[in-house]
A and B are shown apart, each in its own frame.
Chain A
Amino acid sequence: MEFFGKIVISGLVNGAIYGLVAIGFVLIYKASSVLNFSQGYMLLLGAYIFWVFKASLKLDLLFSLLITIPLGFLMGILIERLTLRPLIGQPLVSIITVTIFLSLVIEGLVSIIWGTYPLQQMSPFFRGSLRVGKINLTSGTLFAFGLALGAMFALIFLFRYTRLGLAMRGVAEGHQIMQSMGISVKRILTICWGIAGVAATLGGILLGSTLGFQLGLSYIGLLAIPAAFIGGLDSPEGAIVGGLLIGLIESIASGYFGKASGVPTSYVILIVVMLFRPYGLFGLRGIERI
């Protein structure tokens, strides 16, 4: 029983982070139909920026977070302005390719500024832990989980209950319609990318504090993709559920079957699920017209 409990916790914590990254994917896809291949690298950049404030300048945790999050927003906006804006109206595949090249550029920038060697760690966030039955939850774990869930619920709240969220959902439906209703599509797109940047940064902060601040952090971008898809590429709630689900599947597979079978298993299950629900669990069915 203890084993199963550990597997579930492990899966949920991983899954929360996947969910956070997946939301970034979904946001961008929903608003501009672009699959952002550089999401993992935005995560990396966000993590490194946080490191600068917390470990290098040795600022206080709360303060570092307060500075880094707006910077993450800025990062998203900058990326949108510099690379995607000039490509509005171009074939989708080209835009996706630009995101691929963007990953290279970000990786290069990170290498130039901080070098390619893993960064010096920083002191752990909190000490202490909480016991639930036989299972020990460190405060680090709780913090990660709490932060991820909190961020996700904040985003869902934004989408469902605010005017901005309504505008974003509208832009996802169709740019022209929104323009004729007087909503600045450009502004909404920018905000979407900004929020995706924040999501990536948060994910990066969490991952960096567990895995260490090194270039391998961008790999998570890859692992979060099934999470984004299984929930449906155009559903933020789906991204959360998808993330947690994928985290659990991976943990169970790796735990019980071993041989690190988690990731391939999650893909197999993903493909099977999609055969029955081709648009993901919560995705909207695309209407096909000639």
Chain B
Amino acid sequence: MRIIKTKAQWVMSILSLVLLFAIPQIPSLNNPYFLRLLIGVGIAVTICLGLNILTGYCGQLNIGQSAFVMVGAFTSALLNYRLGWSFWVCVIPAGLASALVGAIFGIPSVRLRGLYLTLTTLGAQIILTWIALFYIPLTTAGFSVEPVRVGGIVFNTPHKFYYIAMLFTVVMTLFAKNMMRGGVGRAFVAIRDNEKAAEAMGIDIFRYKLLAFVICTFYAGVAGSLLVHYMMWAHLESFTIQDSIWYVVMIIVGGLGSIEGTIFGVLFITALKELIFVVGPIVEGKLVFLPMGAGSGLLLVIIGGVAITFLMFEPRGLAHRWTLFKAYYRLWPFGY
């Protein structure tokens, strides 16, 4: 089963890629704020792709993803800071470092199932953060990281970095999609759906679970490297448990076990978070009697409320809606 099956799909794919890379040229979308949002989306998509592979396809909930991003980020940043290596040389070691750490935290999967394994990932978040806090003091103060360079071009503005971010996002997405439609992906899904049956069919559970962990954290590491070279700053406070939880939320809202879902989820949540611009001024202006901080509180209630309502109507996420929509379109006018 190929990814792009028909000519129409080829045309649409190429067009959308062209459009994606052309955004910085469009005047109304050209402002740095919007580009920054999109870069954020790109990096989050990379992180969530890895997460979706582990959690969505393989069924192992991981709530420590942001710690693995941190490992990759700090590896890349330290290599750059101490040894002066450029981003292109740092990015793979960053991914590998993260993958190694991920493999270590994946080892308990030989005995632990379900939510108990999730606990290990939470432990990863806490332990890794603690190690950075007390044993790598440089990261608590923060230190500067060189921007990405290609030949003479320095990618230190959102306009320029956008291309790097989108390049990596597209490449990682294609890798993920390709991996998941092969044997590896099928093994993951089998493990998720029924572990005993999968084992009975000859799938080596431990090996594939470990592989899922490694892939997930590799993606996290690469994204982390991108992140620090984008921010040009490496700081411990950028990687918190709240981020980990948001990543999980993104893939659930988008749709577990679906690559497109990852993208939808990230876009949806990012858009939701930007609602502050609608809510903020209203509270500032009209609702002055509320105590300080009420504006943000209202935003949280709205985000939470919208998301809960959404999940009530579509618990399987946006990807499921999209599949239904495509099916309707294909079968029209015989949609029943």
Is any CB of A less than 8 Å from a CB of B in the complex? yes
Cα A87 to Cα B200 in complex, Å, equals 33
Cα A102 to Cα B301 in complex, Å, equals 9
Contact B296 A116 (CB under 8 A): yes
Cα A94 to Cα B194 in complex, Å, equals 19
Contacts of B113 in A (CB 8 A): 278, 286
Counting chain A residues whose Cβ lies within 8 A of the other chain, the interface size class is 35 or more
Contacts of A222 in B (CB 8 A): 122, 241
From A57-65, A135-143, A172-180, A265-273, the one touching the partner chain is: A265-273
Contacts of A261 in B (CB 8 A): 130
- From B302, which residue of chain A is reached at the shortest CB distance? A108
Contact B249 A279 (CB under 8 A): no
Q: A264-B126, A286-B113 are in contact. Are A274 and B194 (CB under 8 A)?
A: no
Contact with A along B273-317 (1 / 0, CB 8 A): 000000000000000001111101111111111011001100110
Contact B111 A97 (CB under 8 A): no
Counting chain B residues whose Cβ lies within 8 A of the other chain, the interface size class is 35 or more
Most buried by A among B130, B253, B256, B311: B311
Contacts of B119 in A (CB 8 A): 225-226, 229, 267, 270-271, 274
Contact B116 A108 (CB under 8 A): no
| B276: min CB distance to chain A, Å | 12
Contact B308 A83 (CB under 8 A): yes
| Interchain CB contact (< 8 A) of A259 among B112, B134, B292 | B134
| Interchain CB contact (< 8 A) of A111 among B127, B196, B296 | B296
Q: Is the interface of A mostly helix, strand, loop or mixed?
A: helix
Contact A268 B127 (CB under 8 A): yes
Most buried by A among B134, B252, B256: B252
- Taking the complex as formed, is B108 at the interface, i.e. its CB lies under 8 A from any CB of chain A? yes
Contact A107 B111 (CB under 8 A): no
Cα A290 to Cα B294 in complex, Å, equals 51
Contact A111 B311 (CB under 8 A): no
Cα A289 to Cα B123 in complex, Å, equals 29
Contact A115 B116 (CB under 8 A): no
Contact B194 A290 (CB under 8 A): yes
Q: A98-B311, A111-B296, A264-B130 are in contact. Are A105 and B305 (CB under 8 A)?
A: yes
- Taking the complex as formed, is B66 at the interface, i.e. its CB lies under 8 A from any CB of chain A? no
- From A226, which residue of chain B is reached at the shortest CB distance? B119
Cα A10 to Cα B24 in complex, Å, equals 58
- Taking the complex as formed, is B29 at the interface, i.e. its CB lies under 8 A from any CB of chain A? no
Cα A112 to Cα B298 in complex, Å, equals 6
| B256: min CB distance to chain A, Å | 6
Contacts of B179 in A (CB 8 A): none
| Interchain CB contact (< 8 A) of A105 among B196, B249, B292, B308 | B308
Q: A102-B304, A105-B305, A111-B294 are in contact. Are A271 and B120 (CB under 8 A)?
A: yes
Residues of B in contact with A (beta carbons under 8 Å apart): 61, 108, 111-113, 115-116, 118-120, 122-123, 126-127, 130-131, 134, 194-197, 200, 241, 245, 248-249, 252-253, 256, 290-294, 296-305, 307-308, 311-312, 315-316
8 closest A-B pairs by CB: A111-B297, A115-B291, A116-B293, A108-B300, A105-B304, A108-B301, A267-B123, A104-B304
